[in-house]
Structure 1
């Protein structure tokens, strides 16, 4: 994945994750897979930090869904 596409994917995920809930029609598992696939392509610390925040936010949603 090239740098520009990776940046676009991270920006998209940041937007989506900040607006979804556990009750959305797209399951959280879909977003987990998307974050994981983008995470595999990360090469710079700033992107890794952003992916960590996305992981943390999605983990919180996943926990709320379990309860």
Structure 2
């Protein structure tokens, strides 16, 4: 994943994850895969920090929904 794609994915996930409840038609497993992909691709500290926050936010959402 190139730098621009990674930045775009991070921005998109930051925008989406704060708005979903787990009851949407797209399952949380889809978002988990997306978050895991950006975590794996993050190389610089700022990207790693943002990806880790996404990971934690999704963990919290999964805990609330029981998935």
Q: Please state which band the TM-score falls in when normalised by the shorter chain.
A: over 0.9
Specify the alignment match of 2:23 in structure 1.
Answer: 23
Specify the alignment match of 2:60 in structure 1.
Answer: 60
Specify the alignment match of 1:32 in structure 2.
Answer: 32
TM-score, structure 1 as length reference: 0.93
Give runs of ≥4 in structure 1 deviating > 4 Å. none
> Match of 1:8, SS?
helix
The Cα offsets for residues 6-40 of structure 1, whole Å up to 9 and x where unpaired, read as: 10010000001011111111111100000111111
RMSD, matched Cα: 1.2
What residue ranges of structure 2 are gaps of 5+ in the alignment?
none
CA deviation after TM superposition for structure 1 residue 4, in Å: 0.8
Distance in 2 between the 1:24 and 1:53 partners? 21
> Match of 1:21, SS?
coil
